[in-house]
Amino acid sequence: MHQSAKLSLSVSKLLAILGPGFYLIGYNIGTGSVTTMASAGSRWGMSLTWTVILSCFFTYVGLYAFSRYTLITGDTVLYAVRQRFPFGKLLGFFIMSAVIIAEFFSLTGLSAIVVDLLHEWIAYATGFRHSLIKLALTVTLAAVLFALLWTGEYQLLEKILTALVMIMGMAFLITAVLVVPSWKDILAGLLPRVPPEPDASLIVAGMAGTTFSSSILYCRSITIKEKGWRLADRKKADFDTAVSVLMMFLLSIAIMICAAGTLYVMNRPVENAIDMVRTLEPLAGKFAISLFILGIVGAGVSSLIPTILIAPWVLSDYTNRKINPATGNSRFFVLLGVLVCLTGPYIRTNPVALMVLTMALLAVILPLSTIAITLLLNQKRLGEKKNTLLLNAACLGAILFSLVMSYYGLIGISSYFD
């Protein structure tokens, strides 16, 4: 076999293993992550680096635990909550409903940010701006999503998300290298502290919620089952988890660096998505701006796809039915998601604030998920496959972290509506 053919085969095998991981990255690093990390970096530089590190560490713990339960039992975690706990049906229904509601709220902000940025990019490149361009972009985005999601084939979506994640990752990482602040500032951000400002708690919770969220945990369990992996595939699942979390960390830090190295220096905090474009040019130049916009658009589209799908997926999870995109329930949620994307860019609200608020809401419901998986992995029915002492310690840490972020989220949400 020729060397190039061997290399191509090796890359194909690697991408096959990393498929669920790229799906998670595409879902996790969307415009919610971009706006939340950029908002933090533009306001406080790299002082909240600790939040990214801890969020990614406990995301790894959560993904590992959720993967392990599905690998051992073959059951998805939400279905296990329904079956194994007292009042499990009610608890599972609450978790499912909270995830779906939060995700549909985020669709509004996601679609608005993607359309606004594309509109601004066209105006920036051509000098021409018109409301019909925004309408055309909105309709095109909705049509593309509808075409991709109507069939809902997991393998096809996995390939599309892999390509978008690669584009997004390269764009953000290259931009971060071009504008990186001092490493002293980055290291100083390792000390945990919350800035004494009114919206700091909301943004900290949003940073945690966009990385370590209930949605991504249940999505992981579902994709493991959809992939057909069992305990014999544990090494593949563990490798996939480690790579996906590492990429989440690198991309999240890169986004924060992009904002800290430009907007923070200029004292221009991100209030709207377009702020990330209009204020970058003086320091970053046109090339970096184009890369940054490309990264955000890639992040937005890669996040819109699984965000729309999370509703029919968690419904299938709750009912323990195989994911079938041809069912009425699946297509209803796809149509609803596309309609939200059509109206999102025209809803009179700040999409950045909406995204941060949604991410904070996901942080609030997170403790239920971390407590549930810890209890499930300690049930006697698992026998010798129950949690080890080390994994229990890690799960306890995840519970404590989720409770702290939930507290910050509640404070932030309450102050937002005051």
Minimum mean pLDDT among 37-41, 159-163, 256-260, 391-395: which range? 159-163
pLDDT tops 80 at residue 344 = yes
Tell me the pLDDT tens digit for each residue of 37-84.
878 888 888 889 999 999 999 999 999 999 999 999 989 999 999 999
Q: What is the pLDDT of residues 188-236, one digit of tens each?
A: 788 888 888 877 887 888 888 778 888 888 888 888 888 788 888 888 8
For residue 1, tell me if it sits in a domain. no
Confidence of residue 16 (pLDDT cuts 50, 70, 90): very low
User: Residue 32 belongs to what H/E stretch?
Assistant: helix 31-44
In a domain, 205, yes or no: yes
Residue-wise pLDDT tens digits, 377-387: 999 889 889 99
Domain count, the chain: 1
Is 9 a member of any domain? no
The two structure tokens encoding residue 136: 């055309």
Q: Rounded to whole angstroms, what are the CA distances from 148 to 152, 243, 331?
A: 7, 26, 12
15 within a domain of the structure (yes/no):
no
Q: Does a structural domain hold residue 160?
A: yes
Geometric angle at alpha carbon 325, from 140 and 107, rounded to 5°: 45
Q: Give 162 or 329, the one with higher predicted confidence.
A: 329
pLDDT band for 12, please (50, 70, 90 cuts): very low
- Contact residues for 157 (Cβ-Cβ < 8 A; gap 6+): 23, 148, 149, 305, 306, 309
Domain membership of residue 179 (yes or no) is: yes
Instruction: Give Dmax over CA atoms of the chain in angstroms.
Output: 67
Task: Note the pLDDT of residue 354.
Answer: 67
- pLDDT of 32 reads 61
Structural domain boundaries enclosing 334 = 22-417
CA distance 212 to 232: 27
What's the mean pLDDT when you consider all of the chain? 78
| Closest alpha carbon to 140 in 110, 114, 161 | 114
Who's near 366: CB < 8 A, 6+ residues apart? Answer: 208, 209, 212, 213, 214, 402, 405, 406
Predicted confidence at residue 406, as pLDDT, reads 86
308 lies in some domain: yes
User: pTM here?
Assistant: 0.80
- Per-residue pLDDT of 137-192, as tens digits, reads 999 988 888 887 776 554 565 566 566 666 666 766 776 777 776 777 777 788 88
Domain containing 382 — which CATH number? 1.20.1740.10
Confidence of residue 395 (pLDDT cuts 50, 70, 90): very high
Structural domain includes residue 8: no
Averaged pLDDT for residues 337-344 = 88
Q: How far is CA 264 from CA 40, 259, 322, in A?
A: 9, 6, 47
CA-to-CA distance for 205 and 366, rounded, in angstroms? 11
61's tokens: 């713990």
